[in-house]
Structure 1
Amino acid sequence: MTKSLRIGIIGASADRGWAKESHVFAVQKLAGLELAAVATSRQSTADAAAKAFGALAAYGKADDLIRDPDVDLVAVCIRVPNHRELVLSAIAAGKHVYCEWPLGRNIAEAEEMAAAADAAKVHAAIGLQTRMNPAAHRARDLITSGAIGRLLSARIYSGTGAFSPRVAAADSYLENAENGATLVTIHGGHALDLAGAVLGQIEDVTALTTTQYPEIQVGDDSTPQVRLIPDHLLMQAHLAGSGALSIEVAGGRPPEKTPFCLEVSGENGEVALDGGALRGFQSGRLRLWLNGELQSVDEGEVASMPDTATNVAGVYTALRDDILRGTSTVPDFHHAVRLTRLLEDVMSSARTGTRKLLADWPEQ
């Protein structure tokens, strides 16, 4: 492999989108990474993206980017229903992969991709980027070191502007649960993953889902539609050893109402994380508090990143080092399988009103 890890980003639009706000900036600014290629659905938009971002190559077809011998790692930053085909193609081509979360539409797709990555012996990272956040790492260290004593309870609130009564035409696919991208899988998944990263093992979960906005308007013409998916999620859980956890994930919150907070109470003090982003807390910076005092956190290489790129850059730095050193520190596709299975338990609990025991979540 060349000195720099050569990245090809599928779904990098010059005009808008998550790849532009996070992946492109991280790859451009981090040492040891090079933006080798971009791919979009048309050659004209790919050319525009390559010009805007300084990529060496542009492709109107994702498969052409995957076949490019000058690409070492493929970042899949498109809609969830298209993940499986492109991830499997990249793995078959011997490329390392960074795929956005959720990995697949269901557990079967996630397991298939994890098995393929194992067989090909490539590095495969899943976009559960907030567990790479420096403030989250420091919060975990404080808790495990006993800085607040025995953990008593924790509470998470996560608000997002998504899943509101008004739905853009481009986001209408999120209203179909079969596509695997809902409030529960996306925002609920990120919240549960951060809870596991900071607080440790979750032993069980009981969930309640509701639909706050049963009637929505879709597209520029405001076509009326019945919402068939939950846009609000409540969970409660027991933590291993001691402590209780409650989580609320709320869709349709306006910009001024979309903060995130994780509050952890111990016998001898409190740790808290907070932040906020319209897309969800996973796309923003977090601040750390200890007993009501804001803490300074060493952000290392990601310190110069804008808020939207901070957490994604953390995944890229760890993935870069894993590939160069032969280590495995980033959340991988097996991690994605476990979280997908946990979310299936969450939905089962919500349907049946029962408590679900968790056998293998999370891996620390």
Structure 2
Amino acid sequence: MTGAPLRIGFAGANAERGWARDAHIPALKALPGLVIHAVSARTREIADQAASAFGAARAYDNSLDLARDPEIDVVAVTVKVPEHRAIVLAALQAGKHVYCEWPLARDTAEAEELAEAAHKAGVHVAIGLQGANSLAVRHASRLVHEGAIGRPLNLRVVSATAGWGAIAPPHYAYLQDRRNGATLATIAGGHTLAMAAAVIGPFVEVGACNSILRDRVEIAGTGELVERTCADHLLIHGRHAGGCVSSIEIVSGDGMPLRFELQGTEGKLEITGRHPGGYQCAALTVTGPPGSEPQPSSDLQGLEGAAINVAELYRRFEQDIRSGNRTVADFDMAVKLHRLLDAIEVASGEGHNVRPYDIETER
């Protein structure tokens, strides 16, 4: 691919811990068409340390200043969800392309605002649904759409994460408060729902039972107990556009393997993987029916864990920016996923099935 490398500015960099360090930075180092140009953090000291560790030319203690830097082409938003809105809007107003981590926003109304701003800006945006964009999930989707298992009949998923258990580290205390928009439902649930929709099509009807099984959470190392106001277990059943039905369980406080089993009229397809942070954080394997096309291998070398799927998403996003195509999940897709989560919340609270597009119509 021709052209100078696209310069990335990271809002939310930390050399000692965090998603940017573990996933974004190694992913970008495997992609010659992208370069880390600037970082921001909540203090100048943390920003300077991150710039030194990641090889960035500039460091900011204000992410809004980073978003407006004229030498940055793409702003990557990897801060906490409540901080997404201000940084994304600043980047769009400055004409930057934006890669924002999922969840896009604290709620659907805020997500709709950001999607509208992206349309007005006319730039490329990507939402960090790297699991649904992974080579394995795209391969599974291709097999299904090419008829490898016949007509999809039923899908069973168990998707687990070690988060939202009985104990949380101090920097994850905010994940227990549903008002912050970063919950088991939005993070593990959103990623899992996106995977299901990518393989068998969009949900047209959902029912759910969302539960808070532990209403107090210990903050590690402090003995403090905080209230959990978000669900820590989800049971979702749905019907999809092609008639396939699904049952999806989102399990917290557990590192069990992903279970994704799709039965069709002519065969069965499975996706397997394991990572304590959730299925989207590591390599996945597709097992199709006998004689089906094998899963392609990535040509990106030296990547492991969380960086694997993030690198694939960055690669496609770069291709979109350079070609003018729009193939990656964008803020419009994020809005649809936020609305689906709203429908699941309504279904659980009211005890009946809900059509996600009815939620959309009411807005």
Cα–Cα, structure 1 residues 197 and 330, in superposed 2: closer, same or farther, change >3 Å? same
Map residues 219-238 of structure 1 onto 2, 5 A cutoff. 219-238=220-239
Q: Tell me the equivalent position of 2:216.
A: 215
User: Displacement of 1:128 after TM fit?
Assistant: 0.9
Q: Is residue 234–residue 246 contact of structure 1 (8 Å, CA) maintained in 2?
A: yes
User: Displacement of 1:94 after TM fit?
Assistant: 0.9
Cα–Cα, structure 1 residues 250 and 305, in superposed 2: closer, same or farther, change >3 Å? same
Runs ≥4 in structure 1, deviation > 3 angstroms? Answer: 291-296, 299-304
Pairing 1:154–2:152 present: no
Q: Is residue 177–residue 230 contact of structure 2 (8 Å, CA) maintained in 1?
A: yes
Q: Mean Cα displacement is larger for which, 104-113 or 44-53? A: 44-53
CA distance in 2, matches of 1:158, 1:292: 25
Structure 1 residues 117-149: Cα deviation after superposition (integer angstroms, max 9, x where no partner):
111111111111112111111111111111111
Q: Is residue 26–residue 309 contact of structure 1 (8 Å, CA) maintained in 2?
A: yes
TM-score (norm 1): 0.94
CA distance in 2, matches of 1:308, 1:252: 19
Q: Which structure 1 segments of 5+ residues have no match?
A: none
Letter in 2 for 1:240: A
Q: Is residue 103–residue 181 contact of structure 2 (8 Å, CA) maintained in 1?
A: yes
How many residues end up aligned between the 2 structures?
359
Q: Is residue 64–residue 86 contact of structure 2 (8 Å, CA) maintained in 1?
A: no
Structure 1 residues 329-356: Cα deviation after superposition (integer angstroms, max 9, x where no partner):
1111111111101100100101001100
Q: Mean Cα displacement is larger for which, 210-219 or 20-29? A: 210-219
Q: Is residue 158–residue 261 contact of structure 1 (8 Å, CA) maintained in 2?
A: yes
CA distance in 2, matches of 1:178, 1:294: 45
Map residues 164-243 of structure 1 onto 2, 5 A cutoff. 164-243=165-244
CA distance in 2, matches of 1:222, 1:302: 43
Q: Tell me the equivalent position of 1:104.
A: 105
User: Displacement of 1:185 after TM fit?
Assistant: 0.9
Q: Tell me the equivalent position of 2:131.
A: 130
CA distance in 1, matches of 2:219, 2:42: 23
Letter in 1 for 2:61: G
TM-score (norm 2): 0.94
Cα–Cα, structure 1 residues 157 and 295, in superposed 2: closer, same or farther, change >3 Å? farther
Q: Is residue 202–residue 361 contact of structure 1 (8 Å, CA) maintained in 2?
A: no
What is the SS of the residue equivalent to 1:203?
Answer: strand
CA distance in 2, matches of 1:330, 1:103: 15
Q: Tell me the equivalent position of 2:357.
A: 359
Q: Tell me the equivalent position of 1:45.
A: 46
Q: Is residue 283–residue 311 contact of structure 1 (8 Å, CA) maintained in 2?
A: yes
Cα–Cα, structure 1 residues 262 and 303, in superposed 2: closer, same or farther, change >3 Å? farther
Structure 1 residues 298-348: Cα deviation after superposition (integer angstroms, max 9, x where no partner):
234445421211111111111101111111011111111111011001001
Q: Tell me the equivalent position of 1:245.
A: 246
What is the SS of the residue equivalent to 2:207?
Answer: strand
User: Displacement of 1:295 after TM fit?
Assistant: 7.5
User: Displacement of 1:258 after TM fit?
Assistant: 2.6
CA distance in 1, matches of 2:152, 2:301: 30
CA distance in 2, matches of 1:132, 1:226: 34
Map residues 59-74 of structure 1 onto 2, 5 A cutoff. 59-74=60-75
CA distance in 1, matches of 2:310, 2:344: 26
Aligned mate of 1:334, from 313, 332, 335: 332
Q: Mean Cα displacement is larger for which, 69-78 or 142-151? A: 142-151
